[in-house]
């Protein structure tokens, strides 16, 4: 295994520092199975900051192109990803669980001293994916097999942190 970057979330938020780099798509264990091709990479920036309420946060930016599969014609479909999201750090899982269910607050993530950056970025990529990707102008007139096919993304979402 190659070395993977980790961050101390609270430390990064306090310092306001930023970490940037790229991840190859074939390194995303959860995501890659849903891709038509895992060639290529995404560029990311994780920056520490405090929000207007003084809470420690991470701002995650991810850019790249994902090769998905159109759920109608099953051909490749390129999805441009351009995520820019602020995650509010929580000191404990209990703090996250105490949030009222369904609240429209910001995304929470559990702070740690060695948070794997790749997992953070992979979560954001999974959340950026449509439930059922389809070409805007698809060559197939009708769903390939109506009803029989379960979209792979619905299950994948269960692997992402929190209740969002």
Which residue, judged by CB position, is nearest to Zn ion in the bound state?
Answer: 70
Nearer to Zn ion, 126 or 138 (CB): 138
Candidate residues 70, 89, 120, 125; the one interacting with Zn ion per rule CB under 5 A: 70
Nearer to Zn ion, 55 or 135 (CB): 135
Q: For the chain, how many residues are written?
A: 164
Of 20-28, 51-59, 73-81, 92-100, the window that binds Zn ion (rule: CB under 5 A) is: 73-81
Question: Per CB under 5 A, does 73 bind Zn ion?
Answer: yes
Residues in contact with Zn ion, total (CB under 5 A)?
A: 5
Nearer to Zn ion, 71 or 123 (CB): 71
Question: Per CB under 5 A, does 121 bind Zn ion?
Answer: no
> Measured between alpha carbons, how far is 75 from 149 in angstroms, rounded to an integer?
15
Nearer to Zn ion, 138 or 156 (CB): 138
Residues 28-42 as b or e (16 or more Cβ within 10 Å = b)? beebeebbbebeeeb
Is the Cβ–Cβ distance between 62 and 120 less than 8 Å? no
Q: Build a one-symbol-per-residue string for 132-161: x at contacts with Zn ion by CB under 5 A, - elsewhere.
A: ---x--x-----------------------
Residues 114-136 as b or e (16 or more Cβ within 10 Å = b)? ebebbbbbbbbbbeebeeebbee
Rg of the chain on CA atoms, in Å: 17
Q: How far is the CB of 71 from Zn ion (least distance, A)?
A: 8
Nearer to Zn ion, 69 or 118 (CB): 69
Q: How far is the CB of 92 from Zn ion (least distance, A)?
A: 44
Q: What is the DSSP string of 66-110?
A: EEEE-TTT--EEEEEEEEEEEEEEESSHHHHHTSPTT----EEEE
Q: State the residues that interact with Zn ion by CB under 5 A.
A: 70, 72-73, 135, 138
């Amino acid at each position: 295994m190659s070395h993977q970057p980790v961050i101390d979330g609270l430390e990064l938020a306090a310092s306001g520092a930023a970490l940037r780099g790229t991840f190859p798509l074939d390194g995303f264990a959860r995501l890659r199975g849903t891709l038509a091709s895992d060639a290529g990479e995404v560029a990311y920036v994780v920056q520490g900051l405090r929000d207007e309420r003084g809470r420690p946060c991470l701002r995650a930016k991810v850019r790249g192109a994902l090769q998905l599969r159109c759920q109608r014609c099953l051909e490749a479909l390129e999805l441009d990803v351009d995520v820019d999201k602020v995650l509010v750090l929580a000191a404990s899982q209990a703090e996250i669980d105490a949030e009222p269910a369904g609240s429209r607050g910001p995304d929470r993530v559990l702070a740690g001293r060695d948070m794997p950056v790749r997992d953070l970025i992979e979560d954001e990529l999974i959340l950026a994916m449509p439930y059922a990707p389809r070409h805007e102008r698809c060559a197939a007139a009708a769903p390939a097999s109506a009803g029989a096919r379960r979209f792979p993304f619905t299950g994948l979402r269960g692997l992402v942190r929190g209740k969002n």
